[in-house]
Each structure stands twice: as C-alpha cells, then as structure tokens.
Amino acid sequence: MPISTILVVDDDPRTIELIRLRLERDGFRVLSAANGQLALDAIRVEHPDLVVLDLMMPVLDGLDVCHILRAETGSNVPIIMVTARSTEDDKLVGLESGADDYLTKPFSPRELSARISAVLRRAAPIDPERPSIITHGDLVVDLPRFHVMLRGETVSLTPTEFSILAALIAEPERAFTRLQLLTRVFGYSYEGMERTVDVHITNLRRKLEPSPSQPVYILTVYGVGYRFAEREHLDVISS
C-alpha cells in the first residue's frame, strides 16, 4: 500500500513537530509549511494526499488557503482545519470554505491521526460490486473514479462532499437523517455536529443544482433530513 503524504500547515514549530512524530509513527510521510503561501506552494509542487491546515496564520490564513484551493485552482485535496476557535459558527465557517473536517485545539495527535485516516478512507476506491456509474439527467456520478460530471463539465468535489452525494444517490428516495449521513460518511466514532451536514449539502447544491434555492437533485425532507430525487428518473449503469 502506498504511503500517504500529509502536509501540516501551522506557524508554531512545536505543534508541527508533535504532529509529525505521531503521523510518522502511524506510517505517514509528513511535509510542513509555516504559513498559507508556503502551503499553496507546497501543494502545487508536492501534491499531498491530505492537508492539515491551521486557521490562524500569517501571510494567508487557513480560510484564504481553502478558498484559493477550492475556487481558484479547483483542487479537491482533503483538508482538515485545525484551530483554537471552538464556537459552532467558527466550525461552520471552516466547513463552508471547503474543509472536509474540523478539529479544535487543544487536541491529541492520536485523534488527528484517526481523523486523517477516516478522511483518506472516504477517498479510497469504492466497492467494485456496487454500481459503477449513476446518472440522473445531466448529472453523472462515477463512483470508482470519484468523478462527477454535470452537463458535460467536470465538477470538483471534496471527498466529504462526494461521500455524501454517493450515499444519497445510491439509495434514491430514501430519507436520511443528518445523524445517519454523519455516521455513513464519518463513521461511528465521529462526534461532529449535525449542522455539519447542512453545510456540506449547501456546498453540494451550490455546485450541482441549477438553482440552489430550488434543488432538483438533493431534496430536503422537512423534519427528517435529505434524500435524492425519485428513482423513476434515475438510470444505473453497472460495470
């Protein structure tokens, strides 16, 4: 199995070293950057498998880095945001910027390593026995290739966004609660907020829906959660 490369971005050398020791012990290759601009340079050259990104940094902060990666470069590299800010609104802002997960300081390096492994699993190949390509109108979701096309154009999704979309589209008409989606995507050990799902759904709708305020693909089930559109409009292609 190839070794995953993790880029750790933080302006505190002690924090980087603590994280490095744990991640290398767990079998990861670790790169580091001390600010947002250096992080962007490293991502473009090294193409890491995941980025651990501090929110508060000089030159460019974590939010700026996320926005640049997602909006300007179209990169879907997994990002775990790390910050001392602990309010719910701060967490949601980080997710809205395109982060896949959010960890609040102080945290244990062991927990961070577990979160990294969970995010990387979401970017792992899909079970080959599942349908390989699912289409709905102009939307095409290629599960093994982690590839989404809308009206013939590639749509860049983060691993978390793709995992939520895959869960919904694989069982059209099923209404998922937010907790069920959290469990499906993050696993039973994830203790995140249910509002996390709302942020990822909003991001997905912004990328997929002709009119995000009037969705045709990802529908709200009031009092429950979310579901994908009706099965009679869904075409499944098996490899």
pLDDT along the chain (239 residues), means of 10: 88 94 94 94 92 89 88 79 75 79 87 88 59 80 84 87 88 85 68 76 91 90 88 44
Residue 200 C-alpha from the chain's centroid: 8
Q: What is the pLDDT of residue 96?
A: 78
Q: Which fold has domain 133-237?
A: Arc Repressor Mutant, subunit A (1.10.10)
Which pTM does this prediction carry?
A: 0.66
Please determine, looking at this structure, whether the domain spanning 5-122 carries the CATH number 2.40.50.180.
no
End-to-end alpha-carbon separation of the chain, Å? 25
Break the chain into its structural domains and give their ranges: 5-122, 133-237
Rg (CA), the chain: 18
Q: What is the pLDDT of residue 193?
A: 66
In terms of Cα–Cα distance, which of 168, 169, 91 is closest to 135?
169
Contacts with 60 (C-beta within 8 Å, 6 or more apart), sequence order: 35, 36, 37, 39, 40, 68
